[in-house]
Structure 1
Amino acid sequence: MTNSTILEELLKLAATANSLAEFKQSLAKINI
């Protein structure tokens, strides 16, 4: 694994986590 590959994977994980957080916020707004 090269450094760039690791960075790309970290960015993917960060993007996924961010998407999940936004999704949870959307659900919270709907529930309220």
Structure 2
Amino acid sequence: MLKRPLLLIVLIVNFFFSSFYFFVCFVLFFVL
């Protein structure tokens, strides 16, 4: 039971970081 919420948290964090990285790249591309 403990591994499922942990996996969900990992997936959410991974999605957040990937979207954040994409946003940073987009902003850098737009500025430069």
TM-score range (shorter-chain normalised) is 0.7 to 0.9
Q: How far is 1:2 from its partner?
A: 1.4
Gaps of 5+ in 2: none
Q: Could you list the runs of 4 or more consecutive aligned residues of structure 1 that deviate by over 6 angstroms after TM superposition?
A: none
Q: Which residue of 2 aligns with 1:25?
A: 25
Q: Which residue of 2 aligns with 1:2?
A: 2
TM-score by length of 2: 0.87
TM-score by length of 1: 0.87
Question: Which letter does structure 2 place at the counterpart of 1:22?
Answer: F
Gaps of 5+ in 1: none
